[in-house]
Amino acid sequence: MVGALAALLFLLFLASPSRAAEPKRLEEACRIAADSGMNLRQALPRLDRCERRTPKDYVGTIWVDYPHMPTDLTIAKTWRLVLDNHVSSAVDVWLIGPKGPPEHYSYDPNEPGREWGAGNYLSMLVSPMRPVSRIVVRLGDARSYSYVRAPKIARARSFVPIERDQAALYGVGVGMLALTILFHLSLFVAMRRRFQLFYCAHVGLLLVYGLSYSGLIHIFLPSLSAGANSAILSFSMVGATATGISFVIEFLGASTPRWLRRWAIGAAFASISMATLTAIMPDRWSYDFYALANLVAIHAILLTAGIVIRACIRRVSMASAIALAWAVPMGVSLMYPARAFGLITDAMLPDGLMMFATTLECLILSLPVASRIRSLRIEHERAHERHVMLERQAQTDALTGLANRRGFGEALARAAAGHGAPMPVALLVIDIDHFKRVNDHHGHATGDAILRHVAAHVARVAGSGAIVARYGGEEFVVALRNHDLMRAGTIAERIRISMGVTFDTETELPGVTVSIGVAAGFSDEIETILGDADCALYRAKNEGRNKVMLADGPLMYAAAA
């Protein structure tokens, strides 16, 4: 809801600005290249003749002439002039009128406490003392191609509500991007899918772009120069194409053929390489790499669009949602290189349009990403349930429902681990007497029914705290935690005596008797205890069966003769 409100606010901001307070754009008449030592008196005749126009790739001192004022500059009032030059060592502005000497203002783009505006505009205050008919700007050590958008001028007080609204709108957009990253990083901790990392990296670069474009980055880096801010803007915009295409091929997965994935990986590598080179390249090569970076970005954007469109045609899950999310930002992203190559004018690309597009993208794109994560979570839970079921089956005897040998060992190990110190434990090894004879006379179906009956009876008498398992064939094992030998022997005798009664009163099965061996000790010596109980069981059988025998002791209980 908050994200939708942010997008709506951006739309209103872009579509319906206040015309009364809107800054007026200065119309450029001429731009010339000159030596750094040229002064205003020498520059004016050349500007009038527009001699030696500045080419796009020029780096050095640039003079720009604005001979027509879009509005009358009221004398003795303060006006704000904003200039779009991302890279310059010094800015000088002259206000020229029909009478009197020119008024001079200087601006240092690299001063930490300088005035600045959203969009990386250089911002300065001027207070004309005479009528102004012409403005001349000198840019020192400037890159001609970076001076794109026309300067704007308005009364200083008119800029206050504009800057306030921009700060609120850009702040909401940047906040939404930051929250998106935190949300999906928290999901990555749970799901650990690679497309989540690419998505967070993509939104992270958009966040860096938003911080730089809005000027909020100066809160954290107050000494950041205009040139450094421009480098961050360029890197984040081109780099976002690399993470964007990487996200798409990971998100769509196997639906993208291998050859197309390799092409996309190459495009992503080219984008991130050009983003890095553009940020660190010396001035004399900057325009060439700037133009190449724009071409690489166009290639990556068009390739991403092709991959998404192909997925939509093939009805790949959630491909249409990705197409919807990236329709606007892809279109806007293509407008920037188009403007750089002169295919569209500056007026066709409103300030803040990319911020709106990136915010809208993240809001819409979060939906398919969250939906995919939800599907993965459901699949993960189902896989976990299947794993638990299989584990339970692997540890359970299918006939009796008791734990099997493996399940008994693991249950006993868990109980011992939860106790901390070695735990007192007693083991009962129970064997059905003459069970082979029962199978031979009554059949295996009856034998299986007897096994189930004995298992249920042993578990019921042993109690809820006991660990009961079918250890193999007709043999059962019971672990009694915190029991000594005599107490365990009492329970064993209870099991033996009541066994016959249950057959007489509860079933139509032939009755059987059991022999039981009992041993006790501590949980860190289970194998020894089990061996002792087994020996006691054999002694009970040798003594005539239907008996309880304690380990290393005499016959404890026997059937009444």
In sequence order, what DSSP letters do the residues of 130-179 get, joined into one string?
A: S---EEEEEEEEEEGGG--SPPEEEEHHHHHHHHHHHHHHHHHHHHHHHH
The sign of the dihedral angle between the CA atoms of 117, 120, 125, 126 is negative
397: tokens are 């005897």
Residues near 180 by beta carbon (within 8 Å), at least 6 away in sequence = 203, 362, 366
pLDDT of the residue at 553? 56
- Give the chain's residues under pLDDT 50: 1-20, 554-561
Cβ 138 vs Cβ 33: under 8 Å: no
Q: Can you give the pLDDT at residue 103? A: 92
**CA 557 to chain centroid:** 68
Q: Give dist(CA 306, CA 294) in Å, integer.
A: 18
Question: What's residue 477's pLDDT?
Answer: 94
pLDDT at position 517: 94
pTM over the 0.95 mark: no
What does the domain layout of the chain look like in residue ranges?
Answer: 24-158, 167-382, 405-558
Residue 505 has what pLDDT? 66
CA-closest candidate to residue 173, choices 348, 14, 335, 305: 14
474 is annotated as an active-site residue: yes
Q: What is the pLDDT at residue 492?
A: 93
**Separation CA 130–CA 289 (nearest Å):** 44
**List 474, 475, 506, 527, catalytic entry:** 474
Amino acid at 491: I
Q: What is the pLDDT of residues 23-49, one digit of tens each?
A: 888 998 999 998 888 999 999 999 989
Query: What is the topology classification, in CATH, of domain 405-558?
Result: Alpha-Beta Plaits (3.30.70)
pLDDT in tens, 362-383: 778 777 777 777 777 777 778 7
Please give the CATH topology (third level) of the domain spanning 24-158: Immunoglobulin-like (2.60.40)
pLDDT value at residue 506: 61
* pLDDT at residue 92, rounded to an integer: 93
